[in-house]
Amino acid sequence: MKIILVGKNLEDIRPLLAARGFVEDSAAPELVVAHGGDGALLGAARAYPDLPLLPIRDARTAPLCPAHECGIQLDAFRAGDTPLTRMPKVCGTVRNVTLCALNDVFLHNHDLSSALRYRVRINGELYANEVVGDGVGIASVHGSTAYYKSITHSVFRVGIGLAFSNSTEEVSHLVLDSSSVIEIEVVRGPGILIADNAPERPLVSEGELVTFRQSEAGAEVYGLENFMCPACRALRHPSPQPRPSGWLF
């Protein structure tokens, strides 16, 4: 099978791929193998939007449980036993620039010492006349377990999530229908538009609009459940150590 291999510590996985008939071929690839962590998957989805992805965590930095050792995952894929998941993407547009993301797209304050002021419309109706905070953005279902969760302390399973980061007003985070269109008008800025870990970050000036929505495009990912395995995660993030004696709080 012809593949593109991306990520880190590729010398660890290359021999395993070669032994199973995977051939690196950037001219006519059939699959992208992303070896690494979440960032490798996000980058691969952005760089190769038209190819299916097989993400496998790098065991050096993300230990794998016995069921998901790299060789076992590759054998299962070659045997046709790895489920394929179609993952929706979200996007943000300012002027003629559209950024798409597997996790989330956020409008953030450009100057870290100055809050962003913005107005929010959902499906053409005013939701908030002015919000002051660090930023606002939308997340996909997959992204709901990432930055969205750190802001809202919640996750969702359907639709798209709208989150407000460190807003001074009492404004509710929302889970909206996937067909919803959110317009953010910068009242005081500038802001920057950020999509996942993309290096492109366009400036958004005062008076400009950012339009958020679910993208028409998605990503096809093999073995997503393996990649998100709770047992593997427990090895990466073990339970906190007991507090020392005499600890008061």
pTM higher than the cut 0.85: yes
Give 13-56 pLDDT, tens digit per residue.
Answer: 999 999 999 999 999 999 999 999 999 999 999 999 999 999 99
Q: Which residues are catalytic?
A: 38
Give 149-187 pLDDT, tens digit per residue.
Answer: 999 999 999 999 999 999 988 889 999 999 999 999 999
Virtual CA dihedral for 122, 123, 124, 129, nearest 10 degrees?
-10
State the Rg of the chain over Cα: 20
Q: Any idea which residue has 């060789």 for tokens?
A: 71
Is 62 in contact with 39 (CB distance < 8 Å)?
no
Is 136 in contact with 120 (CB distance < 8 Å)?
yes
Give 62-87 pLDDT, tens digit per residue.
Answer: 899 999 999 999 999 999 999 999 99
